Homo-oligomer: A and B are copies of this chain.
Amino acid sequence: MQDKKGLSLDALKSDNFQTSRELMIAAYRSVRNQTQQLCQPLAVEDCVVQTMKLVSPTKWHLAHTTWFFEQFMLMNFFTGYQPYNEQYLYLFNSYYNTVGPQHCQAQRGYLSRPTVEEVYTYRQQIDAHMIDLLLTAPQDNIPELRNLLVVGINHEQQHQELILTDIKHVFSSNPLMPAYNTPDSEPASHPIQSMHWIEHQGGLADIGFEYHKLSQDKQYQALSDLFQIDDGLAARALLCSEFCFDNEKPKHTTFLQPFAIANRLVTNGEYMGFLEDQGYEKPEFWLSLGWQWRKDNNATHPLYWYKQDDIWKQYTLAGPLTVDPNEPLCHVNYFEADAFARWAGYRLPREDEWESATSNCKLDGNLMESNRFHPITPDPQSNETKLIQAFGDVWEWTSSPYTSYPGYQPADGALGEYNGKFMCNQQVLRGGSCATPTDHIRNTYRNFWSPETRWQFTGIRLARDI
A binding-site residues for B, Cβ under 8 Å:
43-49, 51, 59, 87, 90-91, 95, 97-98, 103, 107, 109-116, 170-171, 173-176, 178, 204, 252-257, 259, 283-284, 286-291, 334-335, 338, 350, 399-401, 403-404, 406-407, 417, 421-425, 451, 465
Contacts and interface: CB of A to CB of B under 8 A. Distances in A.
Given A45-B48, A257-B252, A421 B287 contact: yes
A52 to B, nearest CB: 9
A259 B406 CA distance: 9
Contacts of A109: 49, 109
A114 B176 contact: yes
A287 B254 contact: no
A171 B417 CA distance: 32
A107 B400 CA distance: 34
A287 B252 contact: no
A421 B170 contact: no
A173 B425 contact: no
A110 B49 contact: yes
Nearest to A255: B255
> For the complex, would chain A's binding face be called helix, strand, loop or mixed by DSSP majority?
mixed
Nearest to A44: B44
A438 B204 CA distance: 37
A97 B283 contact: yes
A445 B232 CA distance: 54
A404 to B, nearest CB: 8
Contacts of A87: 175-176
Given A45-B59, A288-B421, 9 more contacts: A49-B112, A91-B176, A112-B178, A113-B178, A255-B255, A257-B407, A288-B424, A289-B425, A424-B451
Contact of A403 (B173, B399, B421): B399
Contact of A173 (B110, B171, B259, B291): B110
Contacts of A253: 255, 257
Contacts of A290: 424
A332 to B, nearest CB: 15
Contacts of A350: 406
B400 A112 contact: no
B46 A112 contact: yes
B465 A407 contact: yes
A286 B420 CA distance: 10
Given A204-B255, A287-B421, A112 B407 contact: no
Contact of A286 (B170, B178, B254, B421): B421
A212 to B, nearest CB: 22
- Closest 10 pairs between A and B when the two form their complex, measured CB to CB: A401-B401, A97-B283, A257-B406, A45-B112, A46-B112, A255-B255, A288-B421, A425-B425, A44-B44, A110-B173
A98 B272 CA distance: 24
